[in-house]
Chains A and B, each alone.
Chain A
């Protein structure tokens, strides 16, 4: 997908902000919902190819 652009500016870094390598993890992503993706369309096919390849890959490792 083409990268979108947002015109509103990012905030100024607060005085005294520090973090190792300028990155500070704070929390975790909330619990997701399990759903099915419909097996239709070109983007799904690409997804299926990735996922099935990965699956056989990890099975091979076992």
Chain B
């Protein structure tokens, strides 16, 4: 689609170089997908791949990233941080608390601005959040261009799932001011899922994914149905209380108490002391993700007194337990919001910097079943760096749409194209018995599959082959709860007869506390069709293809594997 025919004249658009940008409140990342198809996260001039979304000004000179972030200690008034979520919002609708230790957001017409000394002049300037965002994007783009040795002129930017149309409009304007073409905004959790699914070794598989994006100022959880490699969002939630900076706070308070004990003064009471303590507590927190001990050491923390201390991981985990618990609960609540059970979740993707925390990942793993894959550095050796997921996903999307006209991209994202009926129930077949009360249902098409959709599954046949029945029906997901088998009292004797009445009598309170066994099962719903495949060879297999069209008509094709003839039939579309 690179060259469009227009009145017979071929118009070639100017050459594009597109990158992906993950733009967070705390950090941003830039990534590019090269000709080998692999996304690479780009380090800026300082060598950072997580570039703090911070700008700071000293006598008219602009500092960016980590250089700007350090200025929160000495030059906080001229340092703008945590501004991404203010974009496209009115002052009255923002929560400015993240900026209490940096330049304060102010009301400016219908938007938000900062009053900063960004030039060498005496008087401060009012700089809108759109302008700040644009300056930030310019710096990111210049770093990417330096690295790639060619000017970047197009971007895909990730945004939270609750970023409004107004916010997108203002961010798009900021990108325009930064002289890049905005190809597309994509939701952060979708970018994270794409980063994993685009790996060459990943097989396309229908699955329910939970993306927990645990950042600095917020935690966002999204439940996705991934069907045939396409994503539909089932539920989202957003939390601003259980995130990275709340973990920093846990350590700030811990170290402050220690300091008070020795020195009878609270370093949190003077802004510079607090800024230093915050900066170093964050570094200590990160160190505890890798090591079991971490040391903090701050020169002249308060009243000229130096501070140094050590904290071990267990202690930190105990102190941070409330925040960890909040994150786990957020995930449970979002799965519930999607009207799913934790057992329905096939994959949990931990994204965002805070996902490096081992205890968070292990806590999350315990609420899911053994078969749920938790993709985090501490639970899976092949996990992708959670701090890089969204940027990688954005870079993959950038390379996919790089050749398209923006108009084309916009058209493809139109509801005419994106809105589709999604199956309410699974559609599959009965195994072992054609009797709904005795057969075992096996899905061919999962619930939440957008239609049109087509899936093929092969099935074993009875030992002797012969004539087989394919009963196609809907399956309704059910959770089967069974009380655990009461454990026989072990006083040396082995219980041989499980039916022995005494074993029931031995129920004690202790045993009743044991958790119920919960399993996923399928209840048979509407019966859709019956198909006969006759004369199947001994050991033969039957292949069934179910094809649901956009109007919910179902086409069935079934045949013995290896045979040229089979049975075809149609279940007419419903009237609804």
Mask for A16-34, Cβ within 8 A of B = 1, else 0?
Answer: 0101011111111111111
Complex interface: chain A residues within 8 A of B462 (CB): 9-12
A21-B569, A28-B528 in contact; A38/B442 too (CB < 8 A)? no
Say yes or no for B423: interface residue by CB 8 A criterion.
Answer: yes
Look across to chain B and name the residue whose beta carbon is closest to the beta carbon of A39. B413
Say yes or no for B574: interface residue by CB 8 A criterion.
Answer: yes
Say yes or no for B186: interface residue by CB 8 A criterion.
Answer: yes
Complex interface: chain B residues within 8 A of A47 (CB): 230, 417
Q: Is A38 touching B461 in the complex (CB atoms < 8 A)?
A: no
Say yes or no for B498: interface residue by CB 8 A criterion.
Answer: no
Q: Is A41 touching B569 in the complex (CB atoms < 8 A)?
A: no
A37-B418, A40-B191 in contact; A14/B469 too (CB < 8 A)? yes
Complex interface: chain B residues within 8 A of A32 (CB): 421-424, 451, 552
Complex interface: chain A residues within 8 A of B527 (CB): 26-27
Q: Is A30 touching B474 in the complex (CB atoms < 8 A)?
A: yes
Q: Is B526 touching A27 in the complex (CB atoms < 8 A)?
A: yes
Interface residue SS majority, chain B? strand
Interface pick from B256-264, B273-281, B361-369, B433-441:
B433-441
Q: Is A34 touching B529 in the complex (CB atoms < 8 A)?
A: no
Say yes or no for B92: interface residue by CB 8 A criterion.
Answer: no
How many Å from the CB of A53 to the closest CB on chain B? 11
Q: List 10 A-B contacts (CB under 8 A).
A: A5-B458, A10-B469, A12-B462, A12-B467, A14-B434, A24-B569, A27-B529, A41-B194, A44-B412, A55-B416
- Cα A14 to Cα B186 in complex, Å, equals 53
Look across to chain B and name the residue whose beta carbon is closest to the beta carbon of A3. B456
Q: Is B431 touching A38 in the complex (CB atoms < 8 A)?
A: no
Q: Is A38 touching B187 in the complex (CB atoms < 8 A)?
A: yes
How many Å from the CB of A12 to the closest CB on chain B? 5
Q: Is A23 touching B422 in the complex (CB atoms < 8 A)?
A: no
Say yes or no for B380: interface residue by CB 8 A criterion.
Answer: no
A12-B469, A28-B571 in contact; A23/B531 too (CB < 8 A)? yes
Q: Is A40 touching B429 in the complex (CB atoms < 8 A)?
A: no
Q: Is B411 touching A52 in the complex (CB atoms < 8 A)?
A: yes
Look across to chain A and name the residue whose beta carbon is closest to the beta carbon of B552. A29
